[in-house]
Amino acid sequence: MNITSLHFVLFTAFVVALYYCLPQRLQNFWLLFASYVFIATWNWHFAVIVGLVTIANFLIGLRLRVNGQGWRGLLWFGIGVNVSTLVLFRAAKFFLPELEAVLGSLGISTQAGSLKILIPLGLSYYVLQAISYLVDVYRGQLKAESNIVNFALYLAYFPKLIAGPIERARTFLPKLAQPRVVDNQVIARSVMLIFIGVARKLLIADLLNVSLLSDVFEIPAKYTPPELVLWLVIYAFALYNDFAGYTDMVRGVSGLFGIELSANFRAPYFARNFTEFWKRWHITLSEWLRDYIYFPLSRLLSRNAPGQHKVANLILPPMLTMLVSGMWHGLSLHMLVWGGLHGLYQIIERIPALWRPTVPPQSQPIWRQWLGMGVVFTFVILAWVPFRWELPAAFELWGALLNWSDVAIRYRRLFLVMPILFASLLIDLLQHKSEDEFIFLNWSPLARAACMAIILLLVFIATGDDFEQAFVYQAF
Amino acid sequence: MKRLVKPSTLQLTMPFGKTLTFTVVFLILFGSAAEGMARLDVFQARLTPPTLGSRHSQLGYKLTLLNADIRNKGPVDCIMVGSSTVDVGFDPEVFQHAYYAVTGHEIHCFNFGIDASSSISAAVLANILVEDYHPRLLIFGTDARDYAVKREDRDTAVVLDSPWIRYRDGHFSPEGWLLDHSYLYQYRQHLAVLLRFNSQGALWSTTNMSYKLRSNGLNPIETVGAYINDPPDPDDDSYEVVYYKRIYSSYQMLDENLAALEQIMDHKRSGTEVIVVEMPVSDGLYYFFGNGELDYDRFVAQVEKRASRHQVPFWRTEPLDSIPDNDWSDYSHLNLSGAEIFSSWLGEKVARLETQKDADSIQQ
């Protein structure tokens, strides 16, 4: 059940309606039941896997602290269980053909491609949430959850299951234990988020995505450098709006249950340095990586090599963190290169900090902020190349960008998509300038209603050919 | 502030729903404006006809052509329905000339033959066309295939499964209702395609049609079929040969298809003149039947029996056995020259029937 489908709208409406009628003690049961139904609509095996991961982490969590002391071995065992589950499913596409070959050599015949493992829906997301839970319990920052329903709901809560936001147990579980209130303001905020999300996904991301010619990904050298730059910009905005649209929608849906989910994006292409970019892009993943990889590694290095300006501390934490981020996105070399590039950007950005104090971007002159924005955007879109393209095509594309002998722009659609890009920038600009993602609620009801009606009408038209695009981040 | 609802989680207070109410009002306003635009000729002229939810493009094309034909020439007097044999074999222009030559009166006809339809789809279409356009004459061009294909057959289903056809056939669905009442909804698919930077199939200017329909609904075929009087080559695995073998090798006339024939003839009761005419087939077609011409004769006898029961004329095309070999495009489809011969013969026959009826009524 895709979350942009009419089925999901009806499903959510039914779940919300009954949720409001239930006493609070039954609401979590109901949400858990609905979440497992939602998972089963994709594939009932996925529900079994979420269930097994839930039970394993719940039991480990209960025994993680004994007499106020964390049990280190059990923590590593728990992390190992989660990571190996993720790696097993992620790596299946690599080792299954090998396994088939081995079985074949032993005389056990399998039909070609018959051994297939589907990556369970949202696995990468709930595994990270489970690890953060175990670490927080081990550190004593969170009491182990004794209510299996609440814990299971933390991992399987359907609005955030497919692609996050990656919630922390220490902020999410207390929300489940409290009575929830859905008042006028919550409804207004939730509806606004849903509308922005729908507009971002169906009217911006999907249209930008289909404007990308498939050749761009296969034979990039066919295009002139200005065309490639424009395709890259379109790809960058398509990817951003796809994920930001998804996040807004699920935050809006969750808001209807009175459960606030974390924001994942804050106008990332307005970032003025790379550190800021990662505070604005996929925020919940960035914070997870920061808290569970970057900081522990940095602390470890500081303990073993005291002194703030050590080169190892400058290089290793950002590079390893970004490499892990790359691997989380996909076990492939091109994702590793993408992560490595972002690691490199951050290292280079921090080099001046070795001899002078860092000036926060907002304290810099305006021209520096604009320059920083341009530099960050340029290098971020260059890094999207290995994120989307396999390495040979990525190198081909980078190579083609170096030869500016032909500057023709031959594709009309490159100009036709400009209003869509501007729409995306306008939403970001309004939210960024006011530093309030709910800025639209300050508009008059008439203005808001007109925008909502236009969005609905355009969505009605845009969905007229049964065209459905899955969310990009759903695949991670 | 007064609570609107009692449950503890939902704590709505007045005023509530102002923006949503305005949204609905705006949606009605904008939607009406868009609907008005979709009804403009200038809008429709550039877009290819809507598919009406069908995977069969001909349905929407023919309806659009029929509407345009009526706008240009006035109400339609006769409509011929049937399958591809009618689609390519009935030339309304030739028919009209032949009719005029005998009666001295103009008649306005339209070819609503739909490729791949059966008697069931022809019956459903006939209902819709009679209800919407009130022709005084309904001609059903029929052939043996009309009674052999099942309703679920892919080719028949492609017409019948259109939400619009289903709605008009009495099966309500919101989509069918919208297709019937809203031009915006009809053109929604094209607009969605255009929004996706792909005008193929949505704009006339960028659409390569696999067939070119004339404004009177005729789908003219210029090609000349070869060896249509000979039995098929046993090794021939062309689509046409395989298809005919599947349909005719153990020929059965299905009850539901015969009932559809009667449904078409029932229009006579409501004042519409109905004529059933056998569409010409080449001698080569008989080789596909398991029992050769015996099977074919069974088809003729069954149709004849029902037509006589409904007092509807059923015309054989035996007099057209002389259609030259070069006037066929395949075993059961006439090409343009063949269509001229058939349509002229039919026009003359209809004219004579009407003249005779007029004479009878004067005598009475």
pLDDT at A303 over 90: no
In this prediction, residue A356 has a pLDDT band, given cuts at 50, 70 and 90, of confident
pLDDT at B25: 95
Per-position DSSP letters for A365-377, written without gaps between them: -HHHHHHHHHHHH
Domains along the sequence of chain B with CATH: 47-359 (3.40.50.1110)
The amino acid occupying position B80 is M
The amino acid occupying position A197 is G
Task: Single out the residue of B328, B346, B224, B221 nearest to residue B282, CA to CA.
Answer: B328
Q: Known catalytic residue: A45?
A: no
Task: Single out the residue of B249, B261, B350 nearest to residue B304, CA to CA.
Answer: B261
| Reported ipTM | 0.77
Find the closest chain B residue to A449 by CA distance. Answer: B23
- Give CA–CA dist B178/B167, Å, rounded: 10
In this prediction, residue B321 has a pLDDT band, given cuts at 50, 70 and 90, of low
Q: How many CA atoms lie within 13 A of A241 on its CB side?
A: 30
In this prediction, residue A17 has a pLDDT band, given cuts at 50, 70 and 90, of very high
Q: Mutation test of the interface with chain B: which of A4, A30, A184, choosing the one with the most B Cβ atoms within 10 A?
A: A184
In this prediction, residue B347 has a pLDDT band, given cuts at 50, 70 and 90, of very high
Per-position DSSP letters for A97-144, written without gaps between them: HHHHHHHHHTT----TT----PPPTTHHHHHHHHHHHHHHHHHTSSPP
- Give CA–CA dist A439/A262, Å, rounded: 17
Residue B74 gets the label, from left (phi > 0), alpha (psi -120 to 50) or beta, of left
pLDDT at A308 over 70: no
pLDDT at A309: 56
pLDDT at B85: 92
Is the Cβ–Cβ distance between A307 and A322 less than 8 Å? no
Of B11, B19, B192, the CB nearest to A462: B192
What's the pLDDT tens digit per position in A118-129? 667 788 888 999
Residues of A in contact with B186 (CB under 8 A): none
| Residue A311 CB partners (closer than 8 Å, separation 6+) | none
- Give CA–CA dist A1/A40, Å, rounded: 9
Angle (CA) B290 B291 B293, round 5° = 120
Higher pLDDT among residues A155 and A397, named by residue: A155
pLDDT at B3 over 60: no
Mean per-residue pLDDT, B67-87: 92
Contact B19 A450 (CB under 8 A): no
The amino acid occupying position A162 is I
- What totals of helices (H) and strands (E) does chain A contain, helices first? 22, 3
Contact A179 B9 (CB under 8 A): yes
In chain B, what percentage of residues exceed pLDDT 90? 43
Q: Mutation test of the interface with chain B: which of A204, A206, A213, A465, choosing the one with the most B Cβ atoms within 10 A?
A: A465
pLDDT at A84 over 70: yes
pLDDT at B94 over 70: yes
Per-position DSSP letters for B156-224, written without gaps between them: HHHHHT-HHHHHHTT---HHHHHHHH-HHHHHHHHHHHHHTT--TTTBGGG---SS---TTS-------
What's the pLDDT tens digit per position in B258-313? 999 999 999 998 889 999 999 998 888 888 888 888 888 999 999 999 999 999 99
Q: Minimal Cα–Cα distance from B117 to chain A, Å?
A: 24
Is the Cβ–Cβ distance between A232 and A381 less than 8 Å? yes
SS3 assignment, position A65: strand
| Tokens found for residue B72 | 């240009």
Tell whether A212 lies on the interface with B, counting CB pairs under 8 A: no
Residue environment code for A374-406, b if the CB has 16+ CB neighbours within 10 A, otherwise e: eebbebbbbbbbbbbbeeebbebbeebbeeeee
- Give CA–CA dist B23/B31, Å, rounded: 11
pLDDT at A420: 92
The amino acid occupying position A206 is D
- Any idea what DSSP says for residue A331? S
Mean per-residue pLDDT, B4-25: 78
CA A156, chain centre distance (Å) = 16
Interface of A with B in 237-276 (CB under 8 A): 258
Instruction: Tell me if the bond preceding A296 is cis, omega within 30° of 0.
Output: no
pLDDT at A117: 57
pLDDT at A218 over 80: no
Contact A461 B25 (CB under 8 A): no
Task: Single out the residue of A244, A293, A242 nearest to residue A268, CA to CA.
Answer: A244
Residues of A in contact with B29 (CB under 8 A): 453
3-state SS record for B71-126: HHHCCCCEEEEECHHHHHHCCHHHHHHHHHHHHCCCCCEEEEECCCCCHHHHHHHH
Q: Minimal Cα–Cα distance from A446 to chain B, Å?
A: 6
Mean per-residue pLDDT, A148-155: 93
Q: How many CB atoms lie within 10 A of CB A415?
A: 10
- Any idea what DSSP says for residue B13? B
3-state SS record for A244-311: HHHHHHHHHHHHHCCCCCCCCCCCHHHCCCHHHHHHHCCHHHHHHHHHHHHHHHHHHHHHHCCCCCCH
- Give CA–CA dist A382/A377, Å, rounded: 9
Of B13, B26, B195, the CB nearest to A462: B195
- Any idea what DSSP says for residue B47? B
Mean per-residue pLDDT, A138-148: 89
| Tokens found for residue B201 | 């199939």
pLDDT at B1: 47
- Give CA–CA dist A125/A121, Å, rounded: 9
In this prediction, residue B355 has a pLDDT band, given cuts at 50, 70 and 90, of confident
Mean per-residue pLDDT, B149-159: 77
Choose the most confident range, by mean pLDDT, from A139-148, A399-408, B4-13.
A139-148
Is the Cβ–Cβ distance between B68 and B62 less than 8 Å? no
Is the Cβ–Cβ distance between A78 and A60 less than 8 Å? yes
Mean per-residue pLDDT, B148-152: 84
Mean per-residue pLDDT, A101-115: 62
Q: How many CA atoms lie within 13 A of B174 on its CB side?
A: 0
Contact B197 A24 (CB under 8 A): no
Tell whether B37 lies on the interface with A, counting CB pairs under 8 A: no
The size of chain B, in residues, is 364
Q: Tell me the average pLDDT of chain A.
A: 86
Is the Cβ–Cβ distance between A163 and A473 less than 8 Å? yes
What's the pLDDT tens digit per position in A39-64? 999 888 888 888 999 999 999 998 88
Interface of B with A in 174-233 (CB under 8 A): 188-193, 195-198
In chain A, what percentage of residues exceed pLDDT 90? 47
- Integer CA distances (angstroms), A280 to A159, A273, A427, A428, B62, in order: 21, 11, 15, 12, 55
Residues of B in contact with A184 (CB under 8 A): 12-13, 16
Q: How many CB atoms lie within 10 A of CB A262?
A: 17
Mean per-residue pLDDT, A171-193: 91
Tell whether A444 lies on the interface with B, counting CB pairs under 8 A: no
In this prediction, residue B207 has a pLDDT band, given cuts at 50, 70 and 90, of low
Mean per-residue pLDDT, B118-130: 93
* Strand pairing report for B78-82 and B109-113: parallel
In this prediction, residue A345 has a pLDDT band, given cuts at 50, 70 and 90, of very high
- Burial group, residue B32, by CB count within 10 angstroms (0-12, 13-18, 19+): exposed
pLDDT at B195: 83
Q: Which of A230-244, A259-273, B142-156 has the lowest mean pLDDT?
A: B142-156
* Active-site hit among A282, A329, A334, A432: A329
- Give CA–CA dist A208/A235, Å, rounded: 7
Tell whether A469 lies on the interface with B, counting CB pairs under 8 A: no
| Tokens found for residue A374 | 């341009």
- Integer CA distances (angstroms), B314 to B126, B234, B317, in order: 17, 34, 10
Q: At what angle do helices A366-388 and A333-350 cross, to 10 degrees?
A: 160
Of B16, B23, B34, the CB nearest to A449: B23
- Integer CA distances (angstroms), A403 to A384, A391, A399, in order: 20, 19, 7
In chain A, what percentage of residues exceed pLDDT 70? 91
